[in-house]
Amino acid sequence: MHTKSLKQLSALLQSRQVSATELAQHFLARIDTSDLNAFLHVDPELTLQQAAVADQRLACEDHTALTGIPIAHKDIFVTRDWRATAGSRMLANYTSPFDATVVERLGKAGMVTLGKLNCDEFAMGSSNQNSFFGPVRNPWDKNAIPGGSSGGSAAAVAARLAPAVTGTDTGGSIRQPAAMCGITGIKPTYGRVSRFGMIAFASSLDQGGPMAQSAEDCALLLSAMAGFDERDSTSLQRPDEDFSRDLNNDLRGLRIGVPREYFGPGLAADVELAVRAALADYEKLGATLVDISLPNTELSIPAYYVIAPAEASSNLSRFDGVRYGHRAEKYSDLTEMYKRTRAEGFGEEVKLRILVGAYVLSHGYFDAYYLKAQKIRRLIAQDFQQAFTQCDVIMGPVSPTVAWNLGEKADDPVANYLADIYTLSTSLAGLPGMSVPCGFGQGDINGKRPVGLQLIGNYFEEAKLLNIAHQYQQATSWHLMQPAD
């Protein structure tokens, strides 16, 4: 069962060849024997209650294409009755009284929650080593990171512990772990998916999206996840869409922009080889490659690491030990309680970003750093719009290298930041982007590690992106490969 697509599972459920309860039990058994540390909270009783409701809906013919299919949620989405920790000691025992909109919408579609997934603390990281609850291991090579911050989500799909998961992407945190774990993930246009109930990191960048085995699976999930939400001031008022509507369009005449800045120094030879081979496959499908330039790509790292920490410092000020979450046991007055609580509750990476954010927003530095970073952000967005006058979609690598070893870059935050060089600009511009498996690079002596191809579309072109990815996956088999159990 765990090797089947969402479409296949849906057919089995609707034909009564398998029940939602049996399917949930199958995946719970796989989770129970896993040593990847991908799940933070599993409650079989809650899962089987939801499965029983799904079975009732299926019996009454009151169902959607997703009814009865198991899903797991990144622990950045709050969930009623389940813990919602954001991978942090600050929220280690927090249980939300309500569901995030994403969780609510997928629940209304009839999906069955398997549990909550490990992530970098408050989604800050590129390796999933910043979680208070320990690192997640890459199922292709357990000595390697899975990518971050949605590393638990990516590892769960790759290891077939869940057929579908949710993730969030602030600077690449859906695309990069999807690439490093050999699965498919899409970050929609900013505002497509509600941020209500998503524990905030950087409000102008955070965006939820689906991760699964294939583009077809992601299209089904995104159709249920996306939509206007009046509770989210950044939610876009656009009609609901069926993102699988264009999956059968051929690619003849498609113009693929290949940014020269994505293939310069810093890109590993094994990653470039896999990406170039994927581009050649697209040419066989009738597409044409177009040389383009995104000249401000290098500026995306300094711009992002000013804007994101600034917003994080503001968003995380609510975690003060007064209303909910961790509170220090020993303190003499209110000020000391604030200090001790935040010192104990936050990890080192989160503290670093809060300090950077507070600095760039402080008097005398706002114009020099934050305001200038926002101006660069506008230039980056203009680069993309200029590029889209020459092409229909942009393609290149997701990450400069395959997954690195656990602990390898633990003492070098800049090296971790550089891993997002090809994904940050898309997030800063608010564009949709996705990762699809396109091969393997040479890992260490334990074997090969996956490579992802990045697809970037213009605003609201998720259906087009999903079709372009789907056509590639119809012609190749990289997305069907899975690590040994």
Contacts of 169 (CB under 8 A, 6+ apart): 150, 175, 187, 206, 207, 208, 209, 423, 427, 433
Please check whether residue 355 is in contact with residue 305, taking contact to mean a CB–CB distance below 8 angstroms.
no
- How many Cβ atoms from other residues are within 10 Å of residue 44's Cβ? 16
Paired with 456 in beta bridges are 394, 433
CA distance 28 to 83: 17
Q: What pLDDT, on a 0 to 100 scale, did the predictor assign at position 447? A: 64
Write down the catalytic residue from 10, 88, 127, 173.
173
Q: 10 catalytic, yes or no? A: no
Question: Given 74, 116, 187, 464, which residue is catalytic?
Answer: 74
74 is catalytic: yes
Asked if residue 467 lies in contact with residue 214, where contact means CB atoms within 8 angstroms, the answer is no
Query: Could you give phi then psi for residue 482, rounded to 5 degrees?
Result: -140, 150
3-state SS, residue 439: strand
Token digits of residue 300: 């995306």
In this predicted structure, what is the pLDDT of residue 461? 98
Distance separating the N- and C-terminal Cα atoms of the chain: 14
pLDDT digits (tens, 9 = 90+) for 74-114: 999 999 999 999 999 999 999 999 999 999 999 999 999 99
Domain spans of the chain? 6-252
Does residue 173 carry a catalytic annotation?
yes
**Residue 416 has what pLDDT?**
81
**What is the reported pLDDT for 446?**
56
Which of the residues in the chain have pLDDT under 70?
443-447
Identity (one letter) of the amino acid at 62? D
Catalytic residue among 5, 19, 149, 425: 149
Phi-psi region of 184 (alpha: psi -120 to 50; beta: other; left: phi over 0): beta
Class of 6-252 in CATH: alpha beta
Asked if 188 and 432 count as a contact pair (C-beta separation under 8 A), the reply is yes
* SS3 per residue for 191-241: CCCCCCCECCCCCCCCEEEEEECCHHHHHHHHHHHCCCCCCCCCCCCCCCC
- Look up the pTM and report it: 0.96
- By CB atoms closer than 10 A (0-12, 13-18, 19+), residue 3 is exposed
Q: What pLDDT, on the 0 to 100 scale, is given for residue 444? A: 54
pLDDT of 484 reads 87
What pLDDT, on a 0 to 100 scale, did the predictor assign at position 186? 98
What Rg do the C-alpha atoms of the chain give, in angstroms? 21
* Residues 305-362: tens digit of each pLDDT: 999 999 999 999 999 999 889 999 999 999 999 999 999 999 999 999 999 999 999 9
